[in-house]
Amino acid sequence: EWERDLNLPIYMIWNPGKENFEEVLKSIIKKCFLVYDSLKNLKISNPKQKISLWSFNLAPTYMPFVLPFICETEQEEAAQIEQRRIFHKAFVLEDRPLLRSYLSRELCAAQLSSFEGKIGSIHLRCLGKKQIGEDSVRETVRGQYYYYHYLQDGEQDNGWGCAYRSLQTLTSWYICQGFSMQTVPKIKEIQEALVEVKDKPRSFIGSKEWIGALEVMLCLNHFLKVESKILRIGSGAAIASSYSMLLSHFRNQGTPIMIGGAAYAYTICLLYTSDAADDTPCVDLGGRR
């Protein structure tokens, strides 16, 4: 056995007018012991193995939350599932990725740099523009994502790249929620993936051929190992019959939805419906074409 010194910073918020300092101090001490107990479960194979301290901004305070990990590769990250489970239980965290290394303040900057110049969660700009009545139902994407559209990143995809851009928008959501360490694939990489899964011939690479919902589903599985569902709707007018399913999707899954029809593709980020007789239900589309 060996010993190692580890300086672990602990941050706290104290409101003197509402909180007793002794109680706050007790919670800090409890946090220290929880972290110490988790350290005992770290599987360190040799004394030179590096222990990294990563800080996470967690709700509701979003103060830096510092935890020790030994993983520096995706393989080591997977091996730390039990340690992350201990932290989630100890600190009563949501059952979703929150403590993966690439979501830490120290490492996420490199991940987020790929979104430079992109608009984040564009549907939020629509929320204040529509009057919502008492009988209305509104659901939105849950979590951050980035808006991809024609002519970004030097691509000349005007008129044919809409579904590629919808796929990129969906992929950004999975990255932002911590479900993947992948980067958002470029159009050529999407085409190469479709050739690799034997959906397209090699001549497809570098072409200006558009893709649809099936190709988006194949790529989500290829890049992210995500399974998708295709809902077939006969016409635009018939989409009203699927509102309840779409509402359920936003409430329970929370991802943006790719929708394609004829030669166009859109990304649904905000769903608004009303039962009022004089109000036609509608879908607000963020990230059109």
Token pair belonging to 70: 């030994």
Q: CA–CA distance from 163 to each of 35, 145, 158 (Å)?
A: 45, 16, 11
DSSP state of 194: H
Q: Which residues contact 256 (CB under 8 A, 6 or more apart)?
A: 141, 145, 166, 169, 170, 173, 267, 268, 269, 286, 287
- Give me the pLDDT at residue 270, please: 82
Peptide bond into 47 cis (omega under 30): no
- Give me the pLDDT at residue 62, please: 53
CA atoms of 173 and 141, how far apart (whole Å): 9
Name residue 25's amino acid. Answer: L
- Does residue 69 contact residue 104 with C-beta atoms inside 8 Å? no
| CA-atom Rg of the chain in angstroms | 23
226 exposure class (CB count in 10 Å sphere: 0-12, 13-18, 19+) = middle
DSSP state of 122: G
CA atoms of 69 and 160, how far apart (whole Å): 45
Name the 3-class secondary structure at 204: helix
CA atoms of 190 and 194, how far apart (whole Å): 6
Name residue 149's amino acid. Answer: H
- Give me the pLDDT at residue 223, please: 95
For residue range 144-199, list pLDDT tens digits in order.
889 999 999 889 999 899 999 999 999 999 888 878 878 899 999 999 999 999 99
- Give me the pLDDT at residue 76, please: 62
- Give me the pLDDT at residue 219, please: 96
Token pair belonging to 97: 């990725």
pTM (2 d.p.): 0.70
In order, the DSSP letters of 20-60 are: -HHHHHHHHHHHHHHHHHHHHT----STT---EEEEEE-TT
Name the stretches of the chain with pLDDT < 70: 1-14, 34-50, 57-64, 69-79, 105-112, 126-137, 236, 262, 273-289
